[in-house]
Amino acid sequence: MEQFVRQKEDRSNSSRDWIRATRGAAILLVLAVAGAACATDSETGPLTTHDEDAKPGAVDARNPEARTAIGAFRSANAQAVALAAYQQGQLQAGRVVAAQKWGLKRAPLLPPAPPAKKPELKTEKGWETKSGGPGLPPVITRVPTKDKVIFLTMDDGSNKDPRLIRMMKELNIPYSAFLTDREAGEDGYAYFRRMHKAGVPMHNHTLTHPELRKMTYAQQYKEICGQQDNLKKAFGKRPPLFRPPYGDYNGDSLLAAKRCGVRAVPLWQQEVFPTKWDYRRADRRFHPGDIVLTHFRGSDEWDGTMPDVIRQVLKKADREGYAIARLEDYV
């Protein structure tokens, strides 16, 4: 009987901890937002990492404030809820502060949780090729999803602005890079190694950015598979995604890509520049799952910088109520 009473008390304590943790989550979020604005490095270390190469949103759970946030709860489950709330609060607080720093009125919307199962991809109507066939990587301009999200992608690699890495990390904005060796690899991919270390996936955009349809199969194979080898050497694995230069390809391109390990060919629905947009649709609006393209270029080629481009994307996403999600979570 005494053992039963102890078990009942333990369950009761655990339930109370769980309720306290979930109720306290909102408070922790508010406190974290307020605290992040004035948090500074101390002898015990910062609440969030300031390492430029670290992944965004990392929180040091050994920090006294983090320990305080979870220490009031007895059960492991309640502590997990409290710590998650604390971490989420720190992340969103950082986004609020970063939005002001980077010239935005509001913090970008947070995307929903990734789908439990990735959508089935099929080549979209109008993108088939006469020499294509079944079993080749699907060609898409959007991801089939009802989630109100878009996907940001960047091509080539000639401009290596360190502010871009800082901006995207501080705002916690996911994006994907499609690299051309001739431009991105000038410094041995050092800049993109930093970006990759911060959690950005690296994909294939050929060796020299040619017009693939004007090349033989053997030439296309060298362009695509040669870059697969370069990217594996630089980042540890062959990427699953390939984007043909200019969005131009044929069946040989897709066959070569498949033989080199490519699973999908994402093109784009919108292309963004520092001062304008190009659209495929007449309504000039985002639709769920749209893929957005820009390029690693700066003021030497464009009327603006990479941060200017990102502001364009985030302001339009804010106006239309879209979050930026990670392409690789859906493809």
Q: Which domains, and CATH codes, for the chain?
A: 2-101 (no CATH), 139-329 (3.20.20.370)
Query: What per-residue confidence (pLDDT) applies to 237?
Result: 96
Mean pLDDT along residues 48-55:
41
Cα torsion 94, 95, 97, 98 to 10°: value is: 110
Query: What per-residue confidence (pLDDT) applies to 26?
Result: 44
Mean pLDDT along residues 73-83:
75
> What would the two tokens of residue 244 be?
């043909």
Residue with more model confidence, 15 or 195:
195
What's the per-residue H, E or C state across the chain?
CHHHHHHHHHHHHHHHHHHHHHHHHHHHHHHHHHHHHHCCCCCCCCCECCCCCCCCCCECCCCHHHHHHHHCCCCHHHHHHHHHHHHHHHHHHHHHHHHHHCCCCCCCCCCCCCCCCCCCCCCCCCCCCCCCCCCCCCEECECCCCCCEEEEEEEECCCCCHHHHHHHHHHCCCCEEEECHHHHHHHCCHHHHHHHHCCCCEEECCCCCCCHHHCCHHHHHHHHHHHHHHHHHHHCCCCCEECCHHHCCCHHHHHHHHHCCCCEEECCCEEECCCCEEECCCCCCCCCCEEEEEECCCCCCCCCCHHHHHHHHHHHHHHHCCEECCHHHCC
Query: What per-residue confidence (pLDDT) applies to 32?
Result: 43
Query: What per-residue confidence (pLDDT) applies to 56?
Result: 42
43 to each of 46, 50, 132, 210, how far by Cα in Å?
A: 9, 15, 62, 54
Residue 121 has pLDDT above 90, yes or no: yes
Of 164, 111, 112, 155, nearest to 266 by C-alpha is 155
CA–CA separation, 281 and 193 (whole Å): 35
Residues 6+ apart with CB under 8 A from 218: none
Residues 6+ apart with CB under 8 A from 73: 17, 20, 21, 79, 81, 82
Query: What per-residue confidence (pLDDT) applies to 38?
Result: 40
Mean pLDDT along residues 265-283:
97
Query: What per-residue confidence (pLDDT) applies to 102?
Result: 95
Q: Give the confidence band of 134 by pLDDT, cuts at 50, 70, 90.
A: confident
* Residues of the chain above pLDDT 70, percent: 78
CA–CA separation, 270 and 294 (whole Å): 9
Query: What per-residue confidence (pLDDT) applies to 270?
Result: 98
Residue 48 has pLDDT above 60, yes or no: no
Residue 45 has pLDDT above 50, yes or no: no
Calculate the average pLDDT of the chain.
84
Mean pLDDT along residues 312-317:
98
Residues 6+ apart with CB under 8 A from 91: 56, 57, 59, 172
Q: Which pTM was predicted?
A: 0.78
| Exposed/middle/buried for residue 161 (C-beta within 10 Å: 0-12, 13-18, 19+) | middle
Residue with more model confidence, 266 or 33:
266
**Lowest pLDDT segment from 35-49, 174-188, 235-249:** 35-49
Residue 132 has pLDDT above 50, yes or no: yes
Helix (H) or strand (E) holding 294: strand 290-295
Residue with more model confidence, 284 or 3:
284
Of 236, 238, 231, 233, nearest to 261 by C-alpha is 238
Of 93, 152, 146, 91, nearest to 314 by C-alpha is 152
Phi and psi (nearest 5°) for 277? -125, 150
Residue with more model confidence, 269 or 58:
269
Residue 29 has pLDDT above 50, yes or no: no
Q: Give the confidence band of 60 by pLDDT, cuts at 50, 70, 90.
A: low
Q: Give the confidence band of 81 by pLDDT, cuts at 50, 70, 90.
A: confident
DSSP designation for 154: E
